[in-house]
């Protein structure tokens, strides 16, 4: 399945026409062995996986893209559909297989496979349905790409990132969950919408669980470099805490609303994950709120737990966690979020 029928062997008896079509120049050297070849593998070709794959292709983030799924016919169909757009996209080799050997040598493995979230279903309720699935996914990825970075997107993402870390045996800096990167984008959009500014000028983070116990870091929000709450206080402009809570609730409910309307989320998470892939593979060293091993940060010491914190990302994965100032209330809510996740992890037996 790794090549479509339109390979280069079009001549009589399968002659490789590339040798006849191009004539090498004299005194040419082979390609430099140091030239970087970037390979991304996407596991799961459902709505989310394909939105990620499509965004990776349009943004020219990889030289090679490998797709893996258990459904062979759908997998081949998705591969062909992407290959047929080759004339409109940057050149990327696209492979697909039900066999994980197709992922060999990946720089980044993005895992989206999992049971679809049902309308009104909590992300944490998906845990038991996805746990067994990961036992068949993570070990072969670690086997074929032992130096890769694992980026987990499947929900519940924080617990499954912990599961992936345990099953892979990878160091914690190379196992990341997409976490609240998208939640923070929704947060920035809503704040920008309230203030009628561009969302890119809003600095705001959601941390903790990617889900109902997430924490909005109101104390650190800034617009155009101006700390919002400090500005309102200095200008003696009154605001109601209930208004802030309503924005937070809107962020949490955003995914549920989209799911209730169209049955799934796809495009926003596609852009979010491609954004993370760019930062990781191009060593951008940008700050993203993603799910990382949080033990030891902000008094979280109850056990190994993955949840979202503002982290600097680069070619080595997680390079560090930003030492952002939190209020006492925010710290307490973050610890409660960690406790919520740990309660579910305690049922795994890992």
Q: How far apart are CA 156 and CA 302, in angstroms?
A: 20
Please report, to the nearest 10 degrees, the dihedral formed by the alpha carbons of residues 341, 106, 114, 97 taken in order: -170
Output the known binding site for NAD(+): 44-49, 69, 130, 153-155
From CA 197, how far away is CA 228, in angstroms rounded?
Answer: 13
Closest by CA to 293, choosing from 127, 130, 181, 174, is 174
Of 194, 210, 288, 325, the catalytic one is: 210
In the beta sheet, which residues pair with residue 206? Answer: 216
Whether the CB-CB separation of 111 and 155 falls below 8 Å is answered with no
User: Counting runs of H as helices and runs of E as strands, what totals does the chain give?
Assistant: 10, 14
Sheet holding 222-223, edge to edge: 202-203, 222-223, 226-227
Any catalytic annotation for residue 210? yes
Cis status of the peptide bond prior to 156, with omega within 30 of 0: yes
- Which residues form the catalytic set? 210
């Amino acid at each position: 399945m790794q090549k479509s029928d339109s390979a280069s062997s079009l001549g009589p008896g399968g002659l490789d026409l590339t040798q006849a079509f191009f004539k090498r120049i004299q005194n040419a050297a082979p390609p430099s062995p140091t030239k970087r070849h970037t390979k991304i593998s996407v596991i799961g070709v459902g709505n989310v996986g394909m939105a990620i794959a499509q965004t990776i292709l349009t943004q020219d983030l990889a030289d090679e893209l490998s797709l893996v799924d258990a459904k062979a016919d759908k997998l081949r169909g998705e591969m062909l559909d992407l290959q047929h757009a080759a004339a409109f996209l940057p050149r990327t080799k696209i492979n697909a297989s039900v066999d994980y050997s197709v992922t060999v040598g990946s720089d980044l493995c993005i895992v989206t496979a999992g049971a679809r979230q049902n309308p009104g279903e909590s992300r944490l309720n998906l845990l038991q349905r996805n746990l067994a699935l990961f036992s068949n996914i993570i070990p072969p990825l670690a086997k074929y790409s032992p130096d890769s970075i694992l980026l987990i997107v499947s929900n519940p993402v924080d617990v499954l990132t912990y599961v992936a870390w345990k099953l892979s045996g990878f160091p914690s800096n190379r196992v990341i969950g997409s976490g609240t990167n998208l939640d923070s984008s929704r947060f920035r959009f809503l704040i920008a919408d309230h203030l009628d500014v561009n969302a890119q000028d809003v600095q705001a983070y959601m941390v903790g669980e990617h889900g109902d116990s997430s924490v909005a870091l109101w104390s650190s929000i800034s617009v155009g470099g101006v700390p919002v709450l400090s500005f309102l206080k200095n200008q003696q402009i009154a605001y109601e805490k209930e208004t802030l809570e309503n924005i937070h609730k809107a962020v949490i409910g955003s995914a549920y609303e989209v799911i209730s309307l169209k049955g799934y989320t796809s495009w926003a998470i596609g852009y979010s994950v491609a954004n993370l892939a760019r930062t990781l593979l191009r060593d951008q060293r940008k700050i993203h709120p993603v799910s990382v091993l949080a033990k030891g940060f902000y008094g979280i010491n109850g056990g190994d737990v993955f949840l979202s914190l503002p982290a600097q990302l680069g070619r080595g994965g997680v390079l560090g966690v930003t030492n952002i100032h939190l209020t006492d209330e925010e710290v307490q809510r973050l610890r409660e979020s960690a406790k919520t996740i740990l309660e579910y992890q305690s049922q795994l037996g890992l």
